[in-house]
Amino acid sequence: MAQRIETINFKKIFTALKKQNAFDTTTEFSNRLGVSSQNISNIINGPGNVSFKILQGLFRAFPKINHAYLHTGREPMFFDEPGGNISTYEKAPQIITATVSSDGEEMAVYVPTKAYAGYLKGYGDPEFLGSLPAVRIPFFNIPSMRLFEVGGDSMEPTVFEKDILFCQQVLNPADIRNGRMYVVVTKHDGIVVKRLMKHRGEDNVNLYSDNKYYEPYSLGLGEIMELWYVRRRLTGQVPSPDTMEDRIYELEKLVYDLQKRLNINPGKGTL
């Protein structure tokens, strides 16, 4: 079984913390994370992968760890290192909050539109997240995945109301990919689905709708509580007719209208 990038970087963090004398033994380290030393040994010395329970314990025990490093390997490893003063969302949760099944596997939390109001208050509260529906999604290897139901029509015709978006958490604004779709959890605008555009060095992000009826607007990073990159979608919409058929229909309609204007009997083709 291949080890994920989070596991590879976890092992590097473990080694760095040990060199800093942050703990004396593997048993002490595992106790601080709230897991068994056998689990940690299986990861450090064997083929095991980190679970979300282990990651939760890691960030809780060592809050100076840079989340972005764990998921991408991008330096710095710790926030107190040179260059470690990374801009992040104001009051963003410092612990990845996930729902875990009895066998230690992560469950994807589903946030329906009717739970949006409660989510804005309890997005970092494990007890609240535990009250939301959670499902296991096979064949999807998306770390810290969360599902959001779409509300409104601002992103039509790309996504529709009631569609379900499969999202991955973004912990650093530097990781925003311009032009891509995100679920943005905001302080005052609620939960919105938009395409984002962020220019280097700026402390705000521009939000765009695919539905041109809605005007784009700008939002300061301090207004963002959580950010989720849309990776997949589940839709109940039936695709519209083929574009070529639409064009033929429009052409036939145009010919019919011209014939009527010229007093030609439609279908005869003569004056």
Report which of residues 149 and 143 the model is more confident about: 149
DSSP letters for 211-252: STTSPPEEEEGGGEEEEEEEEEEE--PPPPPPHHHHHHHHHH
Q: What is the pLDDT of residues 68-113, one digit of tens each?
A: 787 777 778 887 655 444 444 544 444 445 555 556 566 788 899 9
Q: Looking at the predicted structure, is the pLDDT value of residue 29 above 80?
A: yes
Cβ proximity of 210 and 157 under 8 Å: yes
Cα distances from 87 to residues 35, 37, 111, 202, 233, in angstroms, run 31, 34, 27, 10, 30
The reported pTM is: 0.59
d(CA 145, CA 142): 6
DSSP letters for 197-211: E--TT-SEEEEE-SS
Instruction: Give 177's DSSP letter.
Output: -
The helix/strand/coil state of 173 is helix
Q: Across the chain, what does the average pLDDT equal?
A: 80
pLDDT band at 271 (very low <50, low <70, confident <90, very high): very low
Q: What does the pLDDT average to over 151-159? A: 92
d(CA 227, CA 233): 17
d(CA 11, CA 17): 10
DSSP letters for 44-100: HSSS----HHHHHHHHHH-TTB-HHHHHH-PSPSBTTSTT------TT--SS---EE
- Buried (b) or exposed (e) across 105-139, using 16+ Cβ within 10 A? ebbbbbbebebbeebbebbbeeebbeebebeebee
d(CA 195, CA 183): 9
Lowest mean pLDDT among 177-186, 194-203, 256-265: 256-265
**Residue whose structure tokens are 């450090």:** 44
Q: What is the pLDDT of residues 213-264, one digit of tens each?
A: 999 999 988 888 889 999 999 988 776 665 556 667 677 777 777 777 777 6
Lowest mean pLDDT among 8-12, 15-19, 243-247, 260-264: 243-247
Q: Looking at the predicted structure, is the pLDDT value of residue 163 above 90?
A: yes
Lowest mean pLDDT among 11-20, 88-97, 262-271: 88-97
d(CA 112, CA 198): 28
pLDDT band at 196 (very low <50, low <70, confident <90, very high): very high
Q: What does the pLDDT average to over 116-132? A: 74
Query: Ramachandran region of residue 201, left (φ > 0), alpha (ψ -120 to 50) or beta?
Result: left
Q: Looking at the predicted structure, is the pLDDT value of residue 162 above 60?
A: yes
Nearest to 97 by CA among 122, 73, 74: 122
Q: Looking at the predicted structure, is the pLDDT value of residue 270 above 50?
A: no
Q: What pLDDT does 6 receive?
A: 82
d(CA 150, CA 191): 9
Q: What pLDDT does 206 receive?
A: 93
Cβ proximity of 133 and 118 under 8 Å: no
Cα distances from 57 to residues 129, 254, 269, in angstroms, run 17, 67, 79
d(CA 210, CA 204): 20
Report which of residues 212 and 106 the model is more confident about: 212
Q: What does the pLDDT average to over 177-196? A: 92
Q: What pLDDT does 85 receive?
A: 47
